[in-house]
Structure 1
Amino acid sequence: MQDKRLPADLGIDLNEQDCSRLHLLNEELRQAERWITRRSGEMVAAYGLATAQTRHTDRLDEDVELIATVLFLLRKNHPDFDPRRHGVVTRIDIPILPTTLREDNVHCDDARTAWPFRDRREYWCPLFLDLYERALQKDIAKVLSIGALCIDIALIQQQLRSW
């Protein structure tokens, strides 16, 4: 059986199965981005209603952070997978509040890197870029080992007291 590999001039030597895994992970991360955006918006609105304050005031009674944590887990058929262990490949913490981070476009939503494979219609989503470039430092073997995501959005509050 002939080995179906991509041309070497792309800089990434992957078979079609690996390319398919990357396509799937990229799509899952796009969906995760949309879920995080929707859920964090709901949590910010709920917090504003509960405290009767807006995030745009100069002074808040509390120091508040809203953080989305994405855990990247080993796929079940990976040789290192052990059901008795957590199987975390890496994690990414995405700050949602304070709002100044969103205004500066921390996630670089408009910066897209072209998909380096044959179809060239696909684009890496920002969360995939963050995973590949920053969290896993371009280690494609680790990216290919991912088979599941766990997303948690937590509201962290600290009350400030001064005198």
Structure 2
Amino acid sequence: MSQSVHQFEMPLNNGAMQSLEDYKGKVLLIVNTASKCGFTPQYKELQELYENYKDEGLVVLGFPCDQFGHQEPGSDDEIQEFCSLNFGVSFPLFKKIEVNGDNAAPLYKTLKSEAPGVLGSTSVKWNFTKFLVDQNGNVVERFAPTTKPSSIASKIEKLLG
């Protein structure tokens, strides 16, 4: 039986707890992010997706992570400032988390088990791995870091109906 991501509560960048159940009825694009990565410019496309589809029910959730090449060394405040100033990010950013290993956030354990990667791998390979989640909290698909957010638009549109 699949697990819904709506069962989790995660700390936002400002420390407030956010129940993912609040996103019931919304399509989610959950992304582990980093500020000093070759894929960092994807923040721009993620923000564009959010702006284009938020009124129809899309929410992008950014989870900064420093597990890949130490590419997210900043504090939560520094990350928020970087994203706002450089990319105009207005979608929710959460506190920095771990996505792999013993200390991986339970949300990410579920995402990885529900949508394994290439050859059934459950680990997240790098920054900007994306998980598409339907309105009921079911993980629909995993996208590689190299997948441009704009190329996921048609799949988002399909879920939004």
Q: Identify the TM-score tier after normalising by the shorter chain.
A: under 0.3
- When Rg is computed on C-alpha atoms for both structures, the one with the higher figure is 1
More strand by share: 1
Calculate the TM-score normalised by the size of structure 1: 0.25
